[in-house]
Amino acid sequence: MSRLEGRVALVTGGLRGIGRAIAERLLADGARVMLADLADDAAEDIASLGPDAAYIRLDVTDEADWARAIDAIEQRFGRLDILVANAGIGGSAPVRDMSLVDWRKTMAVNLDGVFLATRYCCDLLARGGADWAGGAAIVNISSIMGLVALPGVSAYNASKGAVRLFTKATALEFAADKRPIRVNSVHPGFVETPLLVDTSTKEAIDFYTASTPVGRMAQPHEIAAVVSFLASDDASYMTGSELVVDGGYTAQ
């Protein structure tokens, strides 16, 4: 039996990059998956993933979208066992040049989006989690930039650092309330995705490679494998943890 058979997952920011790789890996491991993203119509694309995949338009910063998404998941799949809060944006700037509007935009997607994901999914997850030895699983995608800083990306650093501690706080809260939901964060290093490649200069890409001990950027599937592990009963004793997947970057 595939290790995620019988489970239903929601992956935010699921249409491309790391989110897409996570959705594909969870499907391969036997889960049914609701991909959520900003495109109005991704029907053709989602059909290529097979009958266990579905799509909903969901802006993670929008409460009305969240209410609709929860209804859609209940209607289509009848349950929820795994939440991967992956949607995120880069786009930081030196602090002296940053407007409050830009600061809030980063916080809205990267931090409010994770809060709303937990807030809106936790009741459904608690019900689903009762069926599994390891409970339901929330996996929040933070970053190495939630652990260590770089100059020029303070908003991103702040948002991802906050996701790390929000993860631990909610893990403790659910454990104290005897709600069967484990909550963990994943901290990828530099990953070859549209977010990073489209917004980086050649010098920046060279820096990502040169500053990573293993000498290369990660591929999205290498992050997805760790997310699938955390979502499964193989990680049944893990909650409030942070898994770093960074080719050695933060070991330096």
Question: Which are the catalytic amino acids?
Answer: 156
Q: Please report how close the Cβ of residue 233 comes to ligand NAD at its closest, in angstroms.
A: 24
Of the pair 86, 232, the CB lying nearest ligand NAD is at 86
Residue with tokens 């059909």: 47
Structure tokens at 227: 């997310």
Question: Does the protein bind ligand NAD through residue 196 (CB under 6 A)?
Answer: yes
Question: Does the protein bind ligand NAD through residue 225 (CB under 6 A)?
Answer: no
Q: Please report how close the Cβ of residue 5 comes to ligand NAD at its closest, in angstroms.
A: 26
CB atoms near residue 219 (< 10 Å): 13
Question: In whole angstroms, what separates CA 192 from the centre of its chain?
Answer: 16
Question: Does the protein bind ligand NAD through residue 89 (CB under 6 A)?
Answer: yes
Question: Does the protein bind ligand NAD through residue 107 (CB under 6 A)?
Answer: no
Q: Which stretch binds ligand NAD (CB under 6 A): 3-11, 75-83, 164-172, 192-200?
A: 192-200
Q: Which stretch binds ligand NAD (CB under 6 A): 1-9, 44-52, 68-76, 194-202?
A: 194-202
> Across the chain, which distance is largest between two alpha carbons, in Å?
54
Q: Please report how close the Cβ of residue 131 comes to ligand NAD at its closest, in angstroms.
A: 28
Q: Which of 7, 8, 12, 231 binds ligand NAD (CB under 6 A)?
A: 12
Question: Does the protein bind ligand NAD through residue 24 (CB under 6 A)?
Answer: no
Of the pair 31, 191, the CB lying nearest ligand NAD is at 191
Q: Which stretch binds ligand NAD (CB under 6 A): 15-23, 71-79, 97-105, 174-182?
A: 15-23
Q: What is the 3-state secondary structure (H, E, C) of the chain?
A: CCCCCCCEEEEECCCCHHHHHHHHHHHHCCCEEEEEECCCCCHHHHHCCCCCEEEEECCCCCHHHHHHHHHHHHHHHCCCCEEEECCCCCCCCCHHHCCHHHHHHHHHHHHHHHHHHHHHHHHHHHHHHCCCCCCEEEEEECCHHHCCCCCCCHHHHHHHHHHHHHHHHHHHHHHHCCCCEEEEEEEECCECCHHHHCCCCHHHHHHHHHCCCCCCCECHHHHHHHHHHHHCHHHCCCCCCEEEECCCHHHC
Q: Which stretch binds ligand NAD (CB under 6 A): 14-22, 46-54, 71-79, 166-174?
A: 14-22
The rounded distance, in Å, linking the Cα atoms of 169 and 171 is 5
Question: Does the protein bind ligand NAD through residue 116 (CB under 6 A)?
Answer: no
Question: Does the protein bind ligand NAD through residue 188 (CB under 6 A)?
Answer: yes
Q: Which of 4, 35, 69, 109 binds ligand NAD (CB under 6 A)?
A: 109
Residue numbers at the binding site for ligand NAD (CB under 6 A): 12-13, 15-19, 37-38, 58-61, 86-89, 109, 113, 141, 143, 188, 190-191, 193-196
